[in-house]
Amino acid sequence: MPQTDLRVIKTLKQIDNALLTLLSDMPFEKITVEQLCQMALVNRSTFYKYYKNKFDLMDQYLTRTLTDFREQMDVAFINASSDNIHHLVYQKNFEKTLQFLYKHKKAYLLLWDLPLETPVFSRMVQVVHNNILEKLTAPSAQDDRLTPYIDLYARLFASDMMTLVRWWFRYEGQVSCKDVQTLMVNDMKQGMFRTFRQYVEG
C-alpha cells in the first residue's frame, strides 16, 4: 500500500539512500541494520516499523525500483506498433525514458552489480521485452505466424536498448543523451550494422 504521509515518505527515502550509500562501499552481506539506521539517521524501532530485516528492505526496494521502471516502460512504448515504430512521438517517449534512466543511474549501477539469482539488469530487459510484446500483439489479433517474429523483435530491442543504456553510463563523459537517442533511432530505422559503419567510417 503506497505511503502518503510526507514524514513517512521522507523516512523511507532516507533508508533507501542509506542502503545505496552502503552498497557503494561494501557487499550487501556485510551491511547491518545498525549501519542502515546510523546512515539514515533513524532509530531501530523506526526501521523495524517498516521492514522485518535488511533482506525485507532489499526486497521491497527492488520491487519499488522495478515497478517504477515498468511504469516508465508503459509510457515509453505506449505508442508502439508495427505501423509507427519510427514515429516522432515514439522517439520522444524514448527520449523521456533515457532521462528517467539517467536520473536513476547511481541506483541502477549498484543494483546491476548485485549477485542475485536473477540479476536486476536481466529483470529490466525482461520488463522491456514484455512491454513491447504486449503492445505489438494488442489490441488486434495478430496472425499467429507473426508471433515468433514479434517475440524476436521484442527480445532484440529490449536487449539492445538496455545494453545501450549500460554502455552509455560507462562512457557518459564521451556520449551524450542525444547521442544515445540517435543511436537507438538509427538502429531501429536501418539496423545495427549500418549504424556502426557510419561511426567507424565517418
Q: Kindly report the CA angle at 161 between 124 and 146, in degrees rounded to 5?
A: 90
**Residue 112 vs residue 147, higher pLDDT:** 112
Q: What percent of the chain has pLDDT over 70?
A: 88
- Looking at residue 148, its pLDDT comes to 87
Give pTM, 2 decimals. 0.86
At residue 80, the pLDDT reads 62
Percent of the chain with pLDDT over 90: 58
Quote the pLDDT of residue 137: 76
pLDDT tens by residue, 160-186:
999 999 999 999 999 999 899 888 878
Long-range contacts of 56-62 (CB under 8 A, 24+ apart): 57/15, 57/19, 58/19, 58/28, 61/16, 61/19, 62/111, 62/120
Q: How many other β-carbons are positioned within 10 Å of the β-carbon of residue 145? A: 7
More confident of the two residues 23 and 142: 23
- pLDDT given at position 1: 43
Q: What is the pLDDT of residue 157?
A: 86
DSSP E strand stretches across the chain: none
How does DSSP classify residue 29? G
Closest CA to 128 of 102, 168, 163: 163
3-state helix, strand, coil in the chain (%, to 5): 75, 0, 25
**What is the predicted pLDDT for the residue at 5?**
84
Instruction: Look at residues 1, 171, 189, 15 and name the one whose alpha carbon lies nearest to residue 86.
Output: 189
pLDDT band for position 150 (cuts 50, 70, 90) = confident
- φ, ψ for residue 121, nearest 5 deg: -60, -45
Helices marked H in 138-202: 147-170, 177-190, 192-200
